[in-house]
Amino acid sequence: MENKTQVFQKVTDEHEKEMRENLYSVYKSLREKGYNPVNQLVGYILSEDPAYITTHNNARNLIRRIDRDELLQNIVKSYITLCEDSN
């Protein structure tokens, strides 16, 4: 069994912008329906179960356009950048 680290492809700026816009639209739709958007998004990311996302404003279809691996990569990158900026 090999012990290699998987390397992710770099996401293009335009693709990243689209992913960010779609995620924010889903966030707003969840908030409009009275859900806790962060909890619902975490549930979806962990399980990939679309039932965590409302169909309001086409949010469920929008979230399916976002690759979870790319999303997690960008979340970690953003968090680390915030940590570095605060030091």
pLDDT in tens, 24-73: 999 999 999 999 999 999 999 999 999 999 999 999 999 999 999 999 99
Among 78, 82, 80, 81, smallest CA distance to 20 is for: 78
Q: What is the pLDDT of residue 7?
A: 66
CA distance 72 to 18: 15
pLDDT-derived band at 10, boundaries 50, 70, 90: low
In order of 15, 18, 20, 35, 76, the CA distances from 85 in angstroms are 24, 25, 21, 31, 14
Q: What is the pLDDT of residue 69?
A: 92
Torsion on CA atoms 83, 42, 45, 76, rounded to nearest 10? 0
